[in-house]
Amino acid sequence: MNREEHATAHGSGMTCLTRRQLLLNGGLTMAVVTLGGIPGLALAEPVKAVKAGYPRRRIGSLSALMQGMPLEFAYPHDNVHNLLVKLGVAAGGGVGPQRDVVAFNQL
């Protein structure tokens, strides 16, 4: 019996809640209640970028960076590979006039 037949059979014109919908809704309700009960989770602040304390070193010039084209570099040691990327949009921890240049460690 499909939903329309089931609703017509009961004469209410409303569809009934299926077992699957009941379980999904119950699970979602429990997840919301559980997560809401964890102190600090609902009111957590955004995570800020971490800045390491390594010495400064020139990697290249900002004017030479092309948007979306990563520049590979090794820092702070020769065996630590990183990417410098101009994203084109402001980013957390970004540098440069538009705050859109960020570096990623390949580890």
Mark out the alpha helices in the chain (DSSP H runs): 3-10, 19-36
SS3 8: helix
Burial 60-74 (b: 16+ CB within 10 A, else e): eeeeebeeeeebeee
Which is it for the CA torsion 27, 29, 32, 35, positive or negative? negative
Write out the chain's pLDDT in tens, 107 residues. Answer: 555 555 555 555 566 778 888 788 877 787 777 766 666 555 556 777 777 788 888 888 888 999 999 999 998 888 999 999 999 999 988 999 999 999 998 77
pTM: 0.49
